[in-house]
Chain A
Amino acid sequence: MPTKIEKDALTGTDTTGHEWDGLKELNTPLPKWWLYLLYVTIAFSAVWVVLYPAFPFKGWTGVTGWVAREAVVQDVAAANARMAPMMNRIREATPQQIAADPELRSFAMAGGRIAFANNCAGCHGAGGQGAVGGFPSLADDDWIWGGTHDAIRATIQHGIRAGESDEERVSVMPRFVADGVLTLAQASDAAEFVLSLSGRATDQAAVERGKPLFAENCVSCHGENGEGNRDVGAPRLNDRVWLHASDRASIARYIANPRLGVMPAWGGRLDPATVNMLTVYVHALGGGEN
C-alpha cells in the first residue's frame, strides 16, 4: 500500500510511497524522449487501426481496404507477367528444343529446380536420388517407363496408377502368393533366381528350382533374362539398381504381395510450361536418354 511519498536524502529523488520491510522504492520515471515515443506509437496505432484491417473480424478491411492476400496476388501476377515471354516460349517448345537452346535451357533448369523441390522432392528426394521402398531414383540410368524427354514428359503429365488421366502409366504385378499362384517357398526360390540374373545368387539349388518358376510366371513381362520391358513398365531385374530392397527375403515378399507405387498426374496440377521445365530438369539429373 502506498504510504508516504518522501524525498530520498541520498539521491534527491522522490519515493513511490511503497515500502517493504523498510525498503523504499525510488520513483525514477522513464526518460522523456522514451515516454513521447510511446505516445507517438499509440497515435500511430490509432491511425493504423483506421487505415488497415487491424481486427480479426470478417469484413473489417480498414478505410484503405488493403488486404495482405491481394498484395500477394498482385506480386505473383507481376512476377508471372515478367516471366510470361519466356514461359510462352517454354510452353510452345518441345523439351528437346528447350534443352538445345542455351537461353531456354538455363531458364528451364532454374524453374525446373524450383518446381522439382516444390512437387517432386517429397518422394524422389532433393536431388532426385529416390528412396528405397518404391521411390525410384531419377538420377541413375535405370528407367521403368523410359528416360527420353518424351517418356519423362508423359510420365509427369499423366502419372502412374493414380486414376487421374486416361493416358496414365499402368502396370500390374500379380500377387503371386496372396492369390495362390505360388507358395511362399516357391516365391523365395524365384527370388534367388532373380538375384542370379545380376550374379548375386548364393544358393544354387534354389536358383535351379526358381528357374522354371521364373520362366512360367515372370518372363512375359520382365523378359527372358530379366531385361525388363518399358512398354508395360516392367523393371529390369538384371542390373544393380533396385526399387525395393535387394535381399532375397524382400524380393520374395514382393513376389508374394507386391506394393505398387503411385505417382500423381501433374498435367492437371501444373501448367504445360512447368511440366516442360520439369522434364528438362529431370532429364539433366544424370539419367537422361536420347
Chain B
Amino acid sequence: MNDVTARGKLKSAGPVAAADQPLYANRQKVYPKAVSGPVRRAKWAVLVACLALYYLAPLIRWDRGPNQPDQAILVDIGNGRLYFFWFEIWPQEVYYLTGLLVLGAIALFAATSLFGRVWCGFACPQTVWTDLFMWVERLIQGDRNERMKLDKAPWTAAKWRKKIVTHAAWLGIAAATGGAWIMYFNDAPTMTVALFTGQASLEVYFFFGLFTATTYVLAGWAREQVCTYMCPWPRFQAAMLDENSLVVSYRAWRGEPRGKLKGEGHGDCVDCMACVNVCPTGIDIRDGQQLECIGCGLCIDACDDIMAKLDRPKGLIAFETLKNIAASETATRSMPPCAARTATGMGVRHVPRFIRARTILYAAVLSSVMAVMLGTWMLRQEVTLAVLRDRAPLFVSLADGGIRNAYTLKIANKARDGGELTLVLESPARLQMTVQEAQETGPNRFRVTTRGDGITQWRVLATLPPGERTRESTPVTFRLLDARGRTVVRTDSVFLGPHGEGHR
C-alpha cells in the first residue's frame, strides 16, 4: 500500500527535515467536479433513499389503540418507551438496541471485506449530506472551475450574493435535518407545530440547534476532514480488507507509463486529472490504496468517460481486487503499452472470491447474533416480576417470637391490557405470606392485579411462625400464575433469620 498522500504536502527530506516538519497542516480546499455515470447514479439513488428514510420515517403513523402514540418510530424518553412498528421495548430491554448496533457493526465489517468502503462511499451520513451540500453549492456557484474562480475573485456584490445564498441553503437543509432528529423523540405533527410557534421545550430547541449546527459544520465546512481526521473507521477498516476485496483501484499495469495522448510508449492513462478533479477528498487514486479514499468510485465514472471519448476500453479505474491487479501486472510485465497488453491483463483476471474464511466468519457471527436476538425476543416475557427484599431491617422479630421478612414486588406488564394473576410463595421453610391490599384466595395465594403497559407494586410480608427453626438464609420463590394455573413468571429471593442455629 502506498502511504504517501497525494496532496504531496508531506515532504520526505530525510530524518532531520522530518523533525522540523510541523504537525499541523492547513486544509487545502477541495473543489470536486461534477461527474455522471453508473456509480454517480447509484450514489444519487442511495442518497435519495437514505434522506427520504431519514426525513419521512417519523411521519409514518401506526395505530396502537387509544392513549398510545400513533407514531411508527418513536423514542419516548419521558415515558421510557421505544416504539418501532410492531415492537415496543422498555428501558431495561435496551439490549435489543445494543444488539442492533452489534449487527450494524458486523454487517459493516462484512460489507467492507466484500466490497471495500462502500459504507463510507455511499451510505455514511457524512457522505450523503456532504454530497447534498456539494450539489447545492454546484447549483448556486457553478462547477469546479467557476467555484475556484469565485473564491479567488474579489468580494463583489455578486460573490456575496452567491455565498450568502449557498450558506442560507445549507442552513436550511441543516435545520431540516436537526428538526427531523427531534421528530424521532416526539410526536412529529405536534412537535412540528410547537417548533414553529415557539412552544417547544428548551431541550428540544437545544438539540434542534445542536444537530443543525453539526450538519452545517460537518457537511458544509469540515467535509473530507471528518473522514480523514475525525472518524476512527478509516484507521482500522483496512483490517477487514484482503486481496479478494473489491476496492476502487487504478490498473497501473494498464495505465502506466502515463503520458500525453500524442507520443510513443504511453499507457492508457493520459494524465488528464479527471479522476483527481472529481474526487471529493482531493486525492489521486493512481497513488494506490490510501487512508483518505472513501471508496465512492466517482473517479471510475470520470475515467470511463475519458476512455470512451478516446475510444479505449473502460475500466482503467474500477472496483477490482488486489489479487487481480497483481495477476494482471505479472502477466503484462514484459509487454509494451498496447491494446494487446490490456487484453492480456484483463484475460488473466479471476472472478472475485466472495466466499472465504473471513466472510464465512462474519456471516456466522452475524447470523448467530440475529438468532440470539430473535430467540430472546421470542422468549421475551410480557409480565416480569422483580422482588426487592427489605434490607433495613433485614428481618423483624415479632412479639410471639416469630420472624418476618418484608418484600416489595414490582409486577411490570408490557401487554396492552391488565389482568388478574395469582401470587404464590414457595419455600422449604413453613412461611406464611401476607400481601398488603390484596385478596387472599388460599393458603399463601393472593390475587394481584396488573396494569396494562405499566407497573403495579405490592408489599409482601413473609412470616415464620414461632417454634419453626430456620437457617440464617432460606430460599423462597415467588410465582405468578395465570387463570389456568400456569406459571407466568417466577423470581427467587431469600428469607433471612437471625445468626446461629435458628431462633428460639
Contacts and interface: CB of A to CB of B under 8 A. Distances in A.
A126 B459 contact: no
A240 B393 contact: no
B391 to A, nearest CB: 7
B interface secondary structure, majority: loop
Contact of B396 (A100, A105, A137, A239): A137
Nearest to A240: B401
B335 interface: no
A286 B392 contact: no
Contact of A141 (B390, B393, B398, B457): B398
B436 A140 contact: no
A140 B392 contact: no
B437 A127 contact: no
Given A127-B390, A127-B391, A284-B459, A240 B437 contact: no
Interface residues of B, number: 17
Contacts of B406: 139, 285-286
Contact of B397 (A105, A126, A140, A288): A140
A236 interface: yes
A106 interface: yes
A126 B392 contact: yes
Contacts of A236: 399
B481 interface: no
A105 B458 CA distance: 11
B393 A139 contact: yes
Contacts of B401: 239-240
B400 interface: yes
A106 B437 CA distance: 11
B437 A99 contact: yes
A140 B391 CA distance: 15
Contacts of B414: none
B51 interface: no
A142 interface: yes
Interface in A94-126: 99-100, 102, 105-106, 125-126
Nearest to A283: B436
A137 B392 CA distance: 11
B459 A240 contact: no
Nearest to B391: A127
Contact of A142 (B392, B398, B461): B398
Nearest to A239: B399
B262 to A, nearest CB: 49
B399 A140 contact: yes
Interface string B455-495: 00101010000000000000000000000000000000000
A165 interface: no
Interface in B392-424: 392-393, 396-401, 404, 406
Nearest to A100: B437
Nearest to A200: B504
Contacts of A284: 436, 459
16 contacts: A105-B437, A126-B392, A127-B393, A128-B393, A129-B392, A129-B393, A129-B396, A139-B396, A139-B404, A140-B397, A140-B398, A240-B399, A241-B398, A241-B399, A285-B406, A286-B461
Smallest CB-CB A-B distances: 7 pairs: A129-B393, A127-B392, A239-B399, A142-B399, A126-B392, A240-B401, A139-B396
Interface of A: 99-100, 102, 105-106, 125-129, 137, 139-142, 236, 239-241, 284-286, 288
Interface of B: 390-393, 396-401, 404, 406, 436-437, 457, 459, 461
Given A141-B398, A240-B397, 16 more contacts: A100-B437, A105-B437, A127-B393, A129-B392, A129-B396, A137-B396, A140-B396, A140-B397, A140-B398, A140-B399, A142-B398, A236-B399, A239-B400, A240-B401, A241-B398, A288-B436
